[in-house]
Amino acid sequence: MSWQDHLKKLAPLTLEEAEIFAPPREMEAAIASYNRALANLRADSADIAQIALRKLVIQYPLFGPAGLLYATCLFDLKRFEAATELVNRSRLAGLRPDDTKLADALVDAIQSEQETLAPTHVNLLGRPASGAPILEKTRKSGKAKMASRKEVLEVVRHGDRSQPQETFVADEATPGQRLRRIVLVTGISLGVILVLVLGLFVSRMILDRTAAATPDSSERLTYLLDRLDVLSAGNPQIAELLADYARFIAPPVSETMATSEQSLAADETTTVSPPETSPALSETIPVETSQAAGTSSSTDLLTQVYSEYQAALILGQTDPVAAAENLLKMSQASASLDPALQSPAVPMTVEVLHSSILDSLDQYRVQAAEALRVSGHSAYESKDYQTSLDFYLRAYALQPLYYGGGVAYYCGRNHQALGQFDQARPYYELVIEHFPGREIAGYAQIRLSEMGFSTPDGTTASALPTTTSQSPVTDTTPAVA
């Protein structure tokens, strides 16, 4: 279906359907002007509609439907780049479902027109250029024939016409000079090649000597184990260390199967709940970890953190979101452990374990944040602001400044749509602080003004709250883009 068909089916905009983009009195007048422009477009009065829509777009940049209608006018004027930019801005400001269908159809039409207007390269024969040359069969050569009288007269009649000529520029250098040039260029090339070969030979010799003087890893490990085996005869601690090492490199089959079953059972019973706190998660400790600390020793806590870390690695192959959130909890728990803590079941120090958890978290962080952002944006377009807020808060916990500040911006938008202005304000200020001069910072400043807040240029954004209220959406919640 073309965008013109979507435009014909587009219903007039009402005040209840419109996103908040101006004070109520101005919104009523702007919506009335928008509906008149829509009627003019359908009545083949595009010039009148274009004047009104251009004024609305300039005066109310967050009026998404008006920007979309003006993009259709720009499309008719063949201004495809400006129309595409205006469609993207309208999506960010907020559109109805029917407006979204019109935007998608208009973008497809713009891409089709741009591909049609793209220049087609031709070859010397005037045919479209292709990857392989066109081969044609030549005619058979015949015997040489004398020119006819008619052909001779034709040549004589047109002999006064100018014929194309080629201009040849002679080389003024003498043979001796040309020879010297060749010798000079050849000598320079041979010198460069000789230097490269000599450098490669010297570097190879240095590497070979270094490798011969330094024992490899297997030799170093063998020497260390032999020395520890000798010392273990008189030191029980060294003997226990060797036994732990043997169990680590070759654990019993029964223990391996039991550990795998426990990890799989933990994955099946683990449920990810929406975050109930703000993104200052570095100061929080998971509930499971706190309960374990109250009922078990510090060694058991270290073992539990390590086991949960291994389970998260297995879970990451099928559910990167759950794996990233579990790794985030484990990173907070490992950071609170005593660095001198040890456990026979954990083959590494607390510091190494914490570093490994952070490295694994970095592998899943971006992928999980993107999946949560997509789900949150889908719920936001459906005006399910509470569900959208839950997804965006989880994405914020993993990557606060992800998507060019878009995650933090939509955390504020959902709070604002739920009427939670105090909770929305810090997210907008964070966007303004970290992305100054960008379009999204301008939108955040406008949202603050809508809620009655103001942030002067150059001031530092306030810290995010430690708790976030998530009250259910009521029928009186204003629809905010």
Radius of gyration of the chain (CA): 37
Average pLDDT for 92-98: 84
Q: How far is the C-alpha of 240 from the C-alpha of 253, rounded, in Å?
A: 21
* Domain shared by 294 and 318, yes or no: yes
The CA-atom distances, in angstroms, between 20 and each of 17, 63, 303, 312 are 10, 8, 53, 43
Total domain count, the chain = 3
**Is residue 351 included in any domain, yes or no?**
yes
307 vs 390: which has the higher pLDDT: 390
Average pLDDT, integer, range 441-454: 92
Look at 3 and 379; give whichever has higher pLDDT: 379
pLDDT given at position 474: 30
Listed residue (427, 415, 360) closest to 386, CA to CA: 415
Percent of the chain past pLDDT 70, that is, above it, reads: 71
Q: Give the range with max mean pLDDT: 50-54, 384-388, 472-476.
A: 384-388
* DSSP secondary structure letters along 328-372: HHHHHHHHTS-TT---TT--S-HHHHHHHHHHHHHHHHHHHHHHH
Q: Do 262 and 355 belong to one domain?
A: yes
Q: What is the pLDDT of residue 331?
A: 92
Closest CA to 331 of 296, 269, 274, 285: 285
The number of angstroms, rounded, from the C-alpha of 355 to the middle of its chain's C-alpha atoms is 25
Query: Residue 223: its pLDDT value, please?
Result: 79
Q: Is 8 helix (H, G, I), strand (E, B) or coil?
A: helix
Query: Is 62 within a domain?
Result: yes
Predicted confidence (pLDDT) at residue 387 exceeds the cutoff of 90: yes
49 & 104 share domain: yes
Whole-model pTM: value is: 0.39
User: Is residue 355 in a domain?
Assistant: yes
**What is the predicted pLDDT for the residue at 280?**
40
Q: Measured between alpha carbons, how far is 133 from 54 in angstroms, rounded to an integer?
A: 51
| Domain's final residue, options 181, 215, 249 | 249
352-374 average pLDDT score: 93
Q: What is the mean pLDDT of residues 159-178?
A: 62
Q: Do both 273 and 352 map to the same domain?
A: yes
Angle between helices 406-417 and 350-381 (to 10 degrees): 50
Distance CA 418, CA 402 (A): 23
Residues 8 and 38 in one domain: yes
- Examine the pLDDT at 104 and tell me if it is beyond 90: no
10 Å CB burial of residue 269 (0-12, 13-18, 19+) is: exposed
Average the pLDDT over 466-470 and give the result. Answer: 34
- Among the listed residues 388, 365, 397, 352, the one whose alpha carbon sits nearest the alpha carbon of residue 480: 388
Is residue 328 pLDDT above 90, yes or no? Answer: yes
149 compared with 325, residue with greater pLDDT = 325
Residues 13 and 31 sit within 8 Å (Cβ to Cβ): yes
Q: Which of 209-213, 223-227, 316-320 has the highest mean pLDDT?
A: 316-320
pLDDT at 78: 85
Do 232 and 334 fall into the same domain? no
Q: Do 306 and 319 reside in the same domain of the chain?
A: yes
Q: Which of 326, 342, 366 is the last residue of a domain?
A: 366
Q: What is the pLDDT averaged over residues 26-54?
A: 86
User: Among the three residues 351, 366, 381, which one is the final residue of a domain in this structure?
Assistant: 366
Please tell me the predicted confidence (pLDDT) of residue 402.
Answer: 93
DSSP alpha helix (H) spans, 438-480? 439-450
Residues 245 and 307 in one domain: no
- Do 238 and 335 lie in a common domain? no
Asked if residue 244 and residue 340 are part of one domain, the reply reads: no
Rounded distance between C-alpha atoms, residue 434 and residue 55, angstroms: 32
CATH (domain of 32): 1.25.40.10
Alpha carbon distance 468, 396 (integer Å): 13
Report how far residue 85's alpha carbon sits from residue 92's, in angstroms, rounded to the nearest whole number. Answer: 11
- pLDDT number for residue 325: 92
Token pair of 386 as six digits:
């509470």
pLDDT at 148: 79
| pLDDT tens digits for range 133-156 | 444 555 555 566 677 777 777 776
* Residue 442 or residue 160, greater confidence: 442
Query: Are residue 7 and residue 109 in the same domain, yes or no?
Result: yes
388/259: higher pLDDT: 388
Q: Is the model's pLDDT at 197 over the cut of 90?
A: yes
Average pLDDT over residues 442-469: 66
Q: What is the mean pLDDT of the chain?
A: 76
Residue 276 has pLDDT above 70, yes or no: no
Residues 236 and 331 in one domain: no
Q: Which domain holds residue 261?
A: 253-366
Q: For position 208, what pLDDT does the model report? A: 80
Distance separating alpha carbons of residues 71 and 85, to the nearest angstrom? 9
N- to C-terminal Cα separation, the chain: 27
